[in-house]
């Protein structure tokens, strides 16, 4: 066996023994003990800092609402309705796959959120737009006034978004991004569970009534818009089939009246040409009647598809008073601050000692 391998098997004098480890530990312990008041002082500073942060952090109220999306039961009629769509040049993808991300994106869209912001609700005994309540609660007008004095005391007077001035549009954008979040978390969040496909829409503000109103109004706006938007194609198909059926009915009744009028006018005196015209009219009437019967069947299919393929959003758990108050635990934050402060102070004392020894050697 080589001499080099022998050195690995038989430790030399420079190897760190258990005794050395214990001695080093005791050395650091007594070092920390000598600086215990400094370490405790820095620990108390950390505890005080985190306690102050917890004290200054406002209490928020959470209003979570869970819901599920039902896409309807239109699969049984999709074959027939696809044929009808093809007749009118409206064929396309008829997949009933639920777009989970679409619901989340819609819940944060300007179309949904801005309309909800101008629904009225009562907060602290005052009825006003939700947007104005947000301005009041978070003193947003004072923050805006630092850059533009015209915003001092600003409030929305109308919900006619199309007639807003430039200043009103700028304020609306500010409230919108404050609500849905951008670089910072917003007042409203929406997410879903991949396994259960259950959505959770939640609002967190510093006022319980405002949190509840924000959640409920965004949900109501989202539900109505999604249902309307999703059923547009089926509604368009139904309207086209109904218009075709009405047209065939009018043509059929007109032909029947024409044949009846010819019978009444000619009586038993029929010229060969008149008899031919009557036969043509009668066959046309039969053709229209047959086509109208088929159109009625198609109309029933379209009506069934419209009623059974229309999705809806169903509430599962709805928030109600009293809402859960969410705030930082001051005692817990103080303990964390004390531990962090003492730990950092101890590390600084030991590190300083190691550096000084290294410089002396």
pLDDT tens figures, 78-95: 444 455 545 544 444 444
Percent of the chain with pLDDT over 70: 79
Residue (of 13, 222, 209, 17) closest to 109 by Cα position: 222
pLDDT of residue 149: 93
Burial of 309 (0-12, 13-18, 19+ CB in 10 A): buried
pLDDT of residue 310: 61
Query: Using an 8 Å Cβ cutoff, are 63 and 320 in contact?
Result: no
pTM for the whole thing? 0.67
Is the pLDDT at 328 greater than 90? The verdict is no
CATH architecture of 60-231+313-326: 2-Layer Sandwich (3.30)
Task: Provide the H-helix boundaries in the chain.
Answer: 3-9, 18-34, 36-56, 78-87, 100-107, 110-117, 130-138, 140-145, 166-180, 208-230, 232-266, 272-309, 330-360
- Least confident span in 23-27, 58-62, 98-102: 98-102
Residue 264 vs residue 141, higher pLDDT: 141
CA angle (234 as vertex; 110, 306 as ends), nearest 5 = 110
Burial of 277 (0-12, 13-18, 19+ CB in 10 A): middle
Task: Give the number of other Cβ atoms within 10 Å of residue 130's Cβ.
Answer: 24
Is the pLDDT at 36 greater than 80? The verdict is yes
Cα 249 to Cα 83, 84, 252, 288: the distances in Å are 22, 19, 5, 7
Tokens for 74, please give them: 């239109």
Is the pLDDT at 148 greater than 90? The verdict is yes
Give the helix/strand (H/E) hosting 316: strand 312-317
Output the average pLDDT for the chain.
Answer: 82
pLDDT of residue 234: 67
Q: Span 283-290, mean pLDDT?
A: 77
pLDDT of residue 94: 43
- Least confident span in 224-228, 249-253, 355-359: 249-253
pLDDT of residue 307: 66
Q: Which residue pairs from 70-75 have beta carbons closer than 8 angstroms and sit at least 24 positions apart in sequence?
A: 70/311, 70/312, 70/313, 70/314, 71/96, 71/98, 71/230, 71/309, 71/311, 72/96, 72/308, 72/309, 72/310, 72/311, 72/312, 73/308, 73/309, 74/234, 74/305, 74/308, 74/309
Separation between Cα atoms, residue 210 and residue 122, nearest integer Å: 8
pLDDT of residue 87: 52
pLDDT of residue 295: 75
């Amino acid at each position: 066996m080589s001499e080099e391998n022998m050195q690995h098997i038989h430790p030399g004098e420079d190897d760190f023994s258990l005794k050395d480890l214990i001695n080093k530990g005791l050395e650091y312990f007594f070092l920390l003990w000598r600086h215990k008041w400094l370490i405790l002082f820095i620990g108390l500073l950390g505890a005080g800092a985190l306690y102050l942060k917890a004290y200054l952090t406002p209490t928020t109220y959470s209003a979570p609402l869970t819901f599920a999306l039902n896409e309807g039961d239109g699969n049984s009629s999709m074959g027939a309705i696809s044929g009808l769509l093809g007749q009118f040049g409206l064929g396309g993808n008829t997949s009933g796959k639920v777009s989970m991300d679409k619901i989340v994106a819609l819940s944060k869209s300007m179309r949904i959120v801005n309309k909800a912001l101008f629904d009225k609700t009562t907060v602290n005994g005052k009825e006003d737009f939700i947007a104005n309540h947000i301005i009041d609660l978070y003193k947003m007008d004072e923050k805006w006034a630092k850059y533009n004095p015209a915003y001092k005391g600003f409030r929305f007077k109308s919900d006619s978004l199309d007639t807003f001035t430039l200043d009103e549009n700028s304020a609306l954008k500010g409230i919108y991004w404050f609500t849905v979040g951008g670089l910072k978390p917003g007042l409203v969040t929406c997410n879903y569970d991949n396994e259960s496909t259950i959505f959770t829409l939640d609002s967190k503000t510093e006022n319980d009534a405002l949190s509840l109103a924000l959640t409920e109004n965004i949900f109501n706006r989202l539900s109505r818009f999604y249902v309307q938007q999703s059923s547009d194609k089926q509604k368009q198909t139904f309207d086209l089939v109904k218009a075709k059926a009405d047209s065939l009915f009018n043509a059929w009744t007109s032909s029947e009246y024409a044949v009846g009028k010819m019978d009444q006018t000619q009586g038993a005196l029929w010229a060969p040409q008149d008899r031919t015209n009557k036969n043509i009219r009668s066959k046309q009437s039969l053709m229209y009647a047959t086509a109208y019967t088929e159109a009625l069947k198609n109309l029933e299919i379209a009506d069934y598809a419209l009623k059974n393929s229309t999705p809806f959003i169903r509430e599962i758990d709805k928030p109600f008073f009293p809402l859960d108050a969410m705030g930082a635990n001051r005692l817990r934050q103080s303990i964390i601050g004390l531990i962090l402060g003492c730990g950092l102070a101890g590390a600084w004392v030991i590190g300083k000692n190691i550096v000084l020894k290294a410089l002396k050697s």
